[in-house]
Amino acid sequence: MLRLAIRNLFQSRARLLITAGGVALSLLLILTLDAIFQGVERQVSAYIDQSGADVFVAQAGVRNMHMASSSLPASALEEVERVPGVRSVTPILYVTNVVSIGDSRNVAYVIGLPAEALAGGPARVVEGRGIPLPGEAVIDRSIAVKAGVGIGDVVKILGRTFIIAGLTTGTVNLVSSVAFISMADFREARAGSDAMSFLLVRALPGVSLADLAARIEAQVSGVTAQPTAAFAAQERRVIRDMSTDLIAIMNLVGLLIGLAVMALTTYTASLSRRAEYGVLKALGARNADLRSTVIFQAMLSVALGFTAGLALTYILAAVVPLTGVNLLLLVTGESLLKVGAVSVLIAGASAVLPILQIGRLDPARVFRGGIGR
């Protein structure tokens, strides 16, 4: 009976194309959206991941950077330096602001770096210097290219004009990038306050980062310390929490489109074979035999759609970066499992109506010419 399902499926190529294509597109919707958000999550924590810090110290209760504000007193720097296991501490200032280049305005994490920064600077400098001097800015190359500027041109950050002294890569995502200015300029823009946003701690070799973070919290009052991996995870979680509802809605849309396409094509495919199923029943096939044929046919259609959808997603993931859009599509195993489960659900649900119809077929009608004629 499985052979019959395969032959039935491949006999009508146009129907197979519509079925698998429809399912592929609906699964592509789910997969791509998942891949986009996975990519955004990774991009959004790229600065933290590549900061070179082992532990991030923030104002008590602050556990990430996105849409957060942290203010630490100047005294916290020395207190953290005195904690056993700490090799170095780099203070940074941080605010979400806009990098203006001519008419181009780009949202950015603006980082104020000390001249002697041992962490927190750009990870990949492709041109110029990484640590800006007063009056200088280091921005992402893709922002500069988009605006048609380069080293030596000017940008406006925090209402002040800076000369571009360095270009970086890997800090830009769909909605923002990271721009670096000197700590002195940052302080000046913030009316001379000596407060710091975060302290980036590098640990001595062999020190447990979790233990070190715990020691910092115990010995320095008013701070929250987290190993960099945990801090980055919190950053990603904020993005995930913000996108969960959207992903759920789009998943539902994808599921419904896939279900509609599959239900329609499975129904019409079974309807067109109604006479043949009637003949098989007359010859002695049981409802269970016919049920398995319909379900296998639906599963096979969805499997083909799933494969095509996955291939399209990977093609999209490879093509999108070539278009200059700052978008990373990341297909994860979790996403594949979810889409696989959705596919099985679509296949199963689409087979229900045909199965009910076939179950009600009267085999005696095959002699009376009443099935499908």
CB of 284 to other proteins, least distance (A): 3
Q: Is 292 near other proteins (CB under 8 A)?
A: no
Give me the least distance between CB of 15 and other proteins, in Å please.
12
CB of 308 to other proteins, least distance (A): 22
Smallest separation (angstroms) from other proteins to the CB of 301: 15
Q: Which of 271, 282, 336, 344 is in the footprint of other proteins by CB under 8 A?
A: 282
Q: Quick one: three-class SS letters along the chain? A: CHHHHHHHHHHCHHHHHHHHHHHHHHHHHHHHHHHHHHHHHHHHCHHHHCCCCCEEEEECCCCCCCCCCCCECCHHHHHHHCCCCEEEEEEEEEEEEEEEECCEEEEEEEEEECCCCCCCCCCCEEEECCCCCCCEEEEEHHHHHHHCCCCCCEEEECCEEEEEEEEECCCCCCCCEEEEEEHHHHHHHCCCCCCECEEEEEECCCCCHHHHHHHHHHHCCCEEEEEHHHHHHHHHHHHHHHHHHHHHHHHHHHHHHHHHHHHHHHHHHHHHCHHHHHHHHHHCCCHHHHHHHHHHHHHHHHHHHHHHHHHHHHHHHHHHHHHCCCCCCCCCHHHHHHHHHHHHHHHHHHHHHHHHHHHCCCHHHHCCCCCCC
Question: Please, what is the minimum distance in Å from the beta carbon of residue 303 to other proteins?
Answer: 19
Q: Does 285 bind other proteins (CB under 8 A)?
A: yes
Site mask, other proteins, residues 231-270, x = CB under 8 A?
----------------------------------------
Identify the residue among 186, 281, 310, 346 touching other proteins (CB under 8 A).
Answer: 281
C-beta of 272: minimal distance to other proteins in Å? Answer: 10
Q: Does 11 bind other proteins (CB under 8 A)?
A: yes
List, in sequence order, every residue forming a beta bridge with 91; answer none if it has no partner: 199
Nearest to other proteins of 131, 290 (CB atom): 290
Interacting residues with other proteins between 312 and 371 (CB under 8 A): 363-364, 366-369
We find the least distance from the C-beta atom of residue 363 to other proteins, in angstroms, to be 5
Min. distance of Cβ 263 from other proteins in angstroms? 22
Under the binding rule (CB under 8 A), the answer on residue 161 touching other proteins is: no
Decide whether 180 or 277 has the Cβ nearer to other proteins. Answer: 277
271 is an interface residue for other proteins by CB under 8 A: no
Please identify, using beta-carbon distances, which residue of 18 and 279 lies nearer to other proteins.
279
Out of 151, 184, 233, 275, point to the residue binding other proteins (CB under 8 A): 275
> Which residue among 115, 286, 319, 341 contacts other proteins (CB under 8 A)?
286
CB-CB neighbours of 2 under 10 Å: 11
* Binding footprint of other proteins on the chain (CB under 8 A): 1, 3-4, 7-8, 10-11, 275-276, 279-286, 289, 363-364, 366-369
